[in-house]
Amino acid sequence: MARLALPLSFVSLILTGAIFGFFYAWIVSTMWGLDAADPRIAMAAMQAMNASVRNAWFAPAFFATPFVLFLTALAALGRDRAAALALAVAGVLYLAGGLILTATVNVPMNEALGAMTVPDDIGQAAEIWQAYSPRWQVFNQIRTAVSGLSLLLTGWALWQLGRSAGRD
């Protein structure tokens, strides 16, 4: 199993990088753009994006990341305990602060917004968007920070595993 630690750590790095990048993009472009748009357009666009994100390309990064991190941590145990611990911590962080947070906060918010009919009245749409966007963004910032920390820990573990492989 220790032979799989290095290859699995590359897979872990790709998955954590992908999910961190996904959440980060929402912070630095998507939500700022939607907040600057007509709230009726922002609502309709967010509804469309939330409906489209449930796909086979997104699922591995979102759902598999913590489990691949845990598997990588197990594989790394026989090679480098510090790297294994970093990978396990990265998995727990992402599981709690990425996957579970998203499933319990962001997804229900998205579903509630998705169930609404976009009002014709711009004032009514602005009220709905103002109740949704700032709160959604706070939780997105949390999951982005947690995913970034998971990425950092995974990168460090990969570096550590590479060093320990060089000593063999």
pLDDT tens for each residue of 82-99: 999 999 999 999 999 999
pLDDT in the model for residue 2: 74
pLDDT in the model for residue 115: 98
pLDDT in the model for residue 75: 96
- State the average pLDDT over residues 113-123: 98
Look over the chain and give the mean of its residue pLDDT values, rounded to a whole number.
96
What share of the chain in percent tops pLDDT 70?
Answer: 98
H helices within 26-121, ranges in order?
Answer: 31-36, 39-52, 59, 65-76, 81-94, 101, 107-114
To 5 degrees, how large is the angle CA 20–CA 25–CA 27?
100
pLDDT in the model for residue 3: 85
pLDDT tens for each residue of 21-66: 999 999 999 999 999 999 999 999 999 999 999 899 999 999 999 9
CA pair distance 54, 58, nearest whole angstrom: 7
- State the average pLDDT over residues 90-110: 98
Q: Is 22 exposed, middle or buried (0-12, 13-18, 19+ CB in 10 A)?
A: middle
Residue 167's pLDDT band (cuts 50, 70, 90)? low
- State the average pLDDT over residues 71-87: 96
Going by C-alpha positions, the residue among 98, 92, 78 that lies closest to residue 146 is 98
Indicate whether 162 pLDDT > 80.
yes
pLDDT in the model for residue 99: 98
Indicate whether 105 pLDDT > 90.
yes
Going by C-alpha positions, the residue among 46, 100, 73 that lies closest to residue 158 is 73
Indicate whether 138 pLDDT > 90.
yes
